Chains A and B, each alone.
Chain A
Amino acid sequence: MSTYSATLGGRTHSFAGLARLLAAASPERSGDRLAGLAADSAQARVAARWALAEVPLARFLAEPVIPYESDDVTRLIMDSHDAAAFAPVCGLTVGELREWLLSEAADAPTLAALAPGLTPEMVAAVSKLMGNADLVAVARKVRVVTAFRSTIGLPGRLATRLQPNHPTDDPAGVAAALLDGLLLGSGDAVIGINPATDSPEAVRDLLDLLEGVIDRYSIPTQSCVLCHVTTSIDLMERGAPVDLVFQSIAGTQAANASFGVTLGLLDEAYEAARSLDRGTVGSNALYFETGQGSALSADAHHGVDQQTVEARAYAVARRYDPLLVNTVVGFIGPEYLYDGRQILRAALEDHFCGKLLGLPMGLDICYTNHADADDDDIATMLTMLGVAGASFVICTPGGDDIMLNYQSASYHDALYLREVLGLRPAPEFETWLERIGLLDDGGGIRDVAGTGHPLTAIGRGLAA
């Protein structure tokens, strides 16, 4: 293991190994402090950044932050590294990569071609040298386009996940929330329910409900009931209408084990989902959720800071050509991201790293009530991530999820973002909105009374 050091304020700060260096260079956050990995002073933090700026990118291929022998995510990262794609930046240091990414030379096609040549640790490292505005400027240039029944990630578009959760999975309650979201123009990324239980029967009932609505109104979107991947595999074998296969993933083998998944299991799910071939305009059939803090929470972080571990989860995701990946950025609580400032920073880092690695990144911009954050933080994050070109955001009725007990963006928030940034829904969905009378002349969502609109049959049918 190498030692990295820099002199600052008359003192030489040394960091034993890349993992310690990366952790010390991270912006202040409660999770790294909890893990005992944070820089022990503000000056040590900046010294770590000076030292990190000098590290050649090639060093990350020689010194894995978690040993190759003991972690299958490290093996995946190393074994799938594309040396040819890496060639344009192979001689750069981390500091030079930052400047190159910000330069005009790094345009959308160049960045797309570079993605397989970058490792999670490289993008995590460069993110630590970037300001919030840098993270926006570079992420905005990257384009990742995926498709199933709608196309996600096109320039000038913002998709949304409609999330009609209910604490007891009551079909009438879900239908009522589904109607509300559709009338507000939401649901082009996915109509996705977090079920109250993981019982296959309950999941299947919800899948049937969603398929019924999607079919009846010919909505160009996809459904997902966010259950464990083994439940989805089981349901697919039994002929259930599974559009997207969902799984929460993390950046180490041990953290994935705490979620009950292995790469082998994900391989199996990938094959099963693709063989169903239920997409119409594309075949990206997986949906992953991630979020800083999950590896630490599972005591499976191997001394790696929470942002670098999070970036490693994206190496897992990109193996499976997902339709959607989102970081649930403020979900776990203030022991990992303390306040609105830390949550915003993490959101920008995750979005930047995911996109540079070639993923269709969206966000669940959210917080819990024991974090120091409020709806103004949601508005700030939403605006910055809209500018940064996020593929999609998660939306809940009034921003209040009554099943998971946390606050996320609302359908209204998505309307705001589309309005102020001139963003439009996914093209197939936009055409459908027009056909069903929900698109106004300016391309926004018409403010319709529920009654009299054909969609209200959804609510009346199930809630009668």
Chain B
Amino acid sequence: MTDTDTTLLEKAADRATGLTPAPLAKRIGGLSDRAIAWLFITPTIALLLAINIFPLIWAVRLSFTNYRANRPNAVLENVGVQNYQRVLTDSDIWIAMQTTAHFVFWTILLQTLIGFTLAYLIDRKFRGHAFWTTVILIPMMLSPAVVGNFWRFLYQPQIGLFNYIVSFTTGVPPSSFEMLGSVSLAPWSIIIVDTWMWTPYVMLICLAGLRSIPDYIYEAAEVDRASAWRQFWSITIPMALPFIMLAVLFRGIENFKMFDMVMLLTGGGPGSTTEVASITLKREAFESWRTGRASSFAIILFVAVFGLANIYVKALNKVKQR
């Protein structure tokens, strides 16, 4: 019985090897494609799960407790949705959200206007445009924290270059305005730096948009004797719009999270005039040590960004399809 069985098995095995072409045999000899696929992808997914998703789940859990990170041994109490209620009814947090929205609105508006204009001009391909484009790109490659720090120097009322230039050109005495210390100017000091730093980013994406418009469309418009103005509004803007919207999306997400620059320029002050959401979050979590409540605020922020980004991407896709 065993005899026949082995021969049968051997025969089957022989047939299988005979049927298998050489490269496939090699593949089986090494690792199967399936195994390689998982071998290649798993480490990345595992790392992201460990350092992004696990903390996020932890944050969700903490957001329902009264945990304080500076008292790790205290009894953990489940407080239900109390943290969320507190956050959503806290007027300080709503003010921080308004401040953030204010920053996001102005920085995006300025960066899009200036960035698009620059891209439009660079697209004229004047002599040396490649060199000057590279020069313009430099600010966005720098560290926002370091940028914030050296702009703090430029904004110094007694010694700063910015104040000197402003007073030189407008005649306003430099000691009469303090960019970082005055309630009305501090938000603008941040908007100016953010615009200085990130306009190149918007410009770069707009430039890609403008370069993607095929020449023959303009040629056709020219044949139809469309005015330059008409060409700009009927061809350039609509064709570049998906790119502009993409730039707005990326800048929007980034500026919603804005932290380093504000921290270094004003630290949220004077008072709380420049206190954006991230700064409030940091204060709650690492200064007041209300870890649970801070976590619930973090979750609300994340859901807000995620939701808004998703709605926006849908709109973007609609524009793209047009």
Q: Is B a genuine binding partner of A?
A: no
**Chain B residues engaging chain A, CB cutoff 8 angstroms:** none
**Chain A residues engaging chain B, CB cutoff 8 angstroms:** none
